[in-house]
Amino acid sequence: MTCYSRITGTGSYLPPNRLTNAQLATQLAARGVETSDEWIVARTGIEARHFAAPDVTSSDLGVEAARRAIEAAGLQAADIDLIIVATSTPDMVFPSVACILQHKLGIAGCPAFDLQAVCSGFVYALTVADAMIKSGAATRALVVGSEVFSRILDFSDRTTCVLFGDGAGAVVLEASQEPGILASDLHADGRHVGILCVPGHVSGGQVVGSPLLTMDGQAVFKLAVGVLENAARATLAKASLTEADIDWLIPHQANLRIMRSTAKKLKLPLEKLIVTVDQHGNTSAASIPLALDEAVRSGKVKKGDIVMLEGVGGGFTWGAVLLRY
């Protein structure tokens, strides 16, 4: 009998410190950086974001999201036999957030590793977990997106520091006789490494180069609107479905203008677009599982619905996963 993988539980976690645009603008003004609620809302749709306390790490946020997803799936942590964490803001250079998170869950033995595809990390991780389940290498995978982007923001650069937030989302993906993940489509183009990066690295006991995020926003914007439409169409074709079959579109939550443009190109009414960027900002690899969990818990996404997940970000990377929830 064909083996599929299916999401059986979702969870998410946001650190308690919520900062509205106005509060952030006041803090930035004290450093001589000028911005406004009006500019941020008009250009991005972001109204607020959450920032983790200085001693809180990606594994701290991720383990809370993971516990909620495992509980929602009706499982115990000991049932998990694969952990993949998508993150660009790991607790340390090594070992992986996944290993630290595994220990925090109180389990040991199953494979655990991080996956680095920046804001596309969650769709990449979900695709890898799906392939491992279909190959028989795993039966109950925990797939987490967790980030503390506040750590790598340059608060003297208003073009980036107003855009990002911290948070985590997780799903449990189980082997199943019913689908499940229907198709996925992943891509990368390393020619665009420089348009969104944290160029610094550790060498000789020091950080060499800038450890802060830098982005050519307009270049990222232009690439994003093109590739998201293509990835969605490719995924639909692989699953022999059409735009009309999509119940919910959950794109990476970076900019409401990009998200609406994708929905429009796919001829989807805006009611089918799940939006959390307004309240979370851009949480990179965490943004899709955070939005999925909110959509499930609010009763929007129901069992049997066709959901299109789409990621895009640094690398340049992009991709889509089409699933029946």
The residues annotated as belonging to the active site are 119, 252, 282
Return the amino acid letter for 168. A
Burial of 80 from C-beta contacts in 10 A (0-12 / 13-18 / 19+): buried
Beta bridge partners of 7: 173
Token readout for 149 is: 């982007």
The one-letter code for the residue type at 109 is G
Residue 89 burial (C-beta neighbours within 10 Å; 0-12, 13-18, 19+):
buried
For residue 14, give the nearest of 126, 160, 147 by alpha carbon: 147
217 interacts with ligand UT7 by CB under 6 A: yes
In this structure, how many other beta carbons lie within 10 angstroms of the beta carbon of residue 212? 17
Cα separation, 143 vs 146, whole angstroms: 10
CB 98 within 8 A of CB 35: no
User: Considering only residues 82, 231, 254, 288, which one is a binding residue for ligand UT7 as defined by CB under 6 A?
Assistant: 254
Choices 56-64, 121-129, 155-163, 181-189; region in contact with ligand UT7 by CB under 6 A: 155-163
Angle at 14 between CA 10 and CA 17, to 5 degrees: 170
Q: What is the SS3 assignment for 43? A: helix
Residue 55 Cβ vs ligand UT7, minimum distance, rounded to whole Å: 25
Q: Which stretch binds ligand UT7 (CB under 6 A): 15-23, 72-80, 215-223, 226-234?
A: 215-223
Q: How many whole angstroms separate alpha carbon 51 and alpha carbon 7?
A: 28
Residue 306 beta carbon to ligand UT7: minimum distance, rounded to whole angstroms: 25
Count of residues near ligand UT7 by CB under 6 A: 19
Q: Which of 17, 156, 210, 218 binds ligand UT7 (CB under 6 A)?
A: 218
Q: Is 20 in the site for ligand UT7 (CB under 6 A)?
A: no
Ramachandran angles phi, psi of 215, nearest 5°: -145, 135
Which of 184-192, 201-209, 216-224, 288-296 is the region at the interface with ligand UT7 (rule: CB under 6 A)?
216-224
Place of tokens 């608060």: 155
| Between 100 and 232, CB nearer to ligand UT7 | 232
For residue 132, report the phi and psi dihedrals to the nearest 5 degrees. -70, -35
Q: Judge whether 323 and 181 are in contact, CB under 8 Å.
A: yes
Contact letters (x/-) for ligand UT7, 50-89, by CB under 6 A?
----------------------------------------
Residues from 275 through 314 that contact ligand UT7 (CB under 6 A): 282, 312-313
The single residue among 20, 159, 176, 214 that binds ligand UT7, judged by CB under 6 A, is 159
Closer residue to ligand UT7 (CB): 197 or 254: 254
Residues 222-241: x where in contact with ligand UT7 by CB under 6 A, - otherwise, as a string? --x-----------------
Task: Tell me the closest approach of the beta carbon of residue 106 to ligand UT7, in angstroms.
Answer: 33
The rounded distance, in Å, linking the Cα atoms of 263 and 310 is 11
Regarding 119 and contact with ligand UT7 (CB under 6 A), the answer is yes
**Residue nearest ligand UT7, Cβ-based:** 217
Among 179, 221, 226, 278, binds ligand UT7 (CB under 6 A): 221
148 binds ligand UT7 (CB under 6 A): no
- State the residues that interact with ligand UT7 by CB under 6 A: 35, 39, 43-44, 119, 158-159, 162, 217-218, 220-221, 224, 254-255, 258, 282, 312-313
